[in-house]
Copies of this chain bind each other. A is one copy, B any other.
């Protein structure tokens, strides 16, 4: 099977033109099939503020009301996505920027209200692997914005980590998939203040342990949940690392064993 590298790049890297540029250069240098999933980060919050729309967050997740949905669609699928595509084209990458609505790539269901009403947020239910495979085989490089649709005309704001994980899982039948979650740290850190304290590998038991100890917390928990789901579903490699390390390796490797070390 062919190699496919899926890079998920986080909001903090995306919102800084310098770190984004470095990330895209690294991405361009990856050989073989590749696909990029991006977040949007605080850009959406900034523009919502400018428009007088209040951004409500609950447990690190944005509450997406109708106005916020418009803003994230504009910012993620428009501003961020198209600027990434235009930059990749200058680097010789034949990028094509897409949401889950395009080519019916990613179907999601509006998250049911259980205590918290997240609003127009989608939980992924289907990835159109044949369409993505077709694009890849024609040497196009999909750049996915974190917007999906419900197939009934509704766009839905969707967590970019989840999109990366679900796309990796769906393509694991056709490719040897390497899934890389890029963020601003060198990996999952034992001590958040110490960049040298990267946890080099993590299995599920260790993950549970780290959660209990509070070493892993906040937005890292759903990210790791996505990582473990992907590795369990046949994705060959899942790594959490800092952007410029894509080629040189490093970061936290996710290990698919149910037991201990």
Contacts and interface: CB of A to CB of B under 8 A. Distances in A.
Nearest to A50: B51
Interface in A209-224: none
A108 to B, nearest CB: 12
Nearest to A105: B96
Interface in A82-101: 82-83, 85-87, 89-90, 94-99, 101
A77 interface: yes
A110 to B, nearest CB: 13
Contacts of A51: 47, 50-51
A79 interface: yes
Interface string A177-216: 0000000000000000000000000000000000000000
A104 interface: yes
A32 interface: no
A70 interface: yes
A66 to B, nearest CB: 12
Contacts of A97: 98-99, 101-102
Interface string A44-61: 000100111000000000
Contacts of A86: 101, 149, 153-155
Given A95-B102, A96-B103, A83 B89 contact: no
B85 A74 contact: no
Interface in A59-79: 70, 73-79
A15 to B, nearest CB: 13
A16 interface: no
A102 B101 CA distance: 16
Interface in A127-157: 134, 138, 140, 147, 149, 151-155
A166 to B, nearest CB: 18
A123 B82 CA distance: 18
B78 A79 contact: yes
Interface string A102-132: 1110000000000000000000000000000
Contacts of A90: 151-153
Given A51-B51, A89-B104, A97-B102, A73 B77 contact: no
Nearest to A103: B96
Contacts of A74: 47, 74-75, 78-79
